[in-house]
Amino acid sequence: MRAMETEQFTVADYRAMPEGPPYYQLVEGEIIMAPSPGSFHQEIAANVHLLLANHVRQHRLGKVFIAPLDVFLSDTNVFQPDVFFLSPANLPLLQADGVHGAPDLVIEIVSPSNGPLEKKRKRPVYAQCGVKELWLIDPVLEQIHRYDFTVDGTKPVRIVDSEEQFETPLLPGLVVSAIEVFRR
């Protein structure tokens, strides 16, 4: 279902929709439905969630969530990130119906059908709404584009290839291996 060019939907319109599936997101006032992701997408999401959740739980760093869970960023933007992290300072954003505000870290897995949505439309909204870091994971290229929005909202600070590792200041002590992210 696509919004008319002049019509803007809001959180109130979004809340009036039936619970999924199918699942919808509200992106810049447009209600967007996406088909279920493929199996490799889901494996990557599970791998990332497992890596982050185990570390976060062990070190009491906050909480990690996996889609679908609504993240209310503004009156015209409600996203369902594939995986996201809330630090202890942001845990009060978590309410019964989702998260009301920007998570610290968002991980989105790019597919051929959602690439422009993730890269061109959602990325700038995440940067503007206060997300500190975004990982755009490309299963085809087996790359992770790591954005640090405290440094630059438009370009990744690092592109991680399938054989590399990286760290994030948001999760001290965690070394993320791309091999583990892309493990089938």
In the prediction, which pLDDT does 34 show? 83
Share above pLDDT 90 across residues of the chain, in percent, rounded to a whole number: 84
Rounded mean pLDDT of the chain? 93
Helical spans, DSSP H, in the chain: 11-15, 39-58, 115-116, 123-129, 178-181
User: Among 138, 158, 137, 139, which residue's Cα sits nearest to residue 148?
Assistant: 158
Stretch 44-70: mean pLDDT: 98
- pLDDT tens-digit map of 81-128: 999 999 999 999 999 999 999 999 999 999 877 777 788 899 999 999
In the prediction, which pLDDT does 36 show? 85
- Compute the distance between CA of residue 137 and CA of residue 135 in angstroms, rounded to an integer: 6
Stretch 5-24: mean pLDDT: 88
Contact 91, 103 (CB under 8 A): no
In the prediction, which pLDDT does 5 show? 57
CB neighbourhood size of 20 (10 A): 10
> Quick one: 35-181 is in which CATH superfamily?
tt1808, chain A (3.90.1570.10)
Q: Is 67 helix (H, G, I), strand (E, B) or coil?
A: coil
Which CA distances in Å does 1 have to 24, 33, 109, 178?
9, 7, 22, 35
Q: Which residues on neighbouring strands pair with residue 44, listed in sequence order?
A: none
In the prediction, which pLDDT does 3 show? 46
pLDDT above 60: residue 51? yes
- pLDDT tens-digit map of 120-132: 899 999 999 999 9
Query: pTM above the 0.85 mark?
Result: yes
In the chain, domain spans: 35-181
Contact 41, 62 (CB under 8 A): no
pLDDT above 70: residue 39? yes
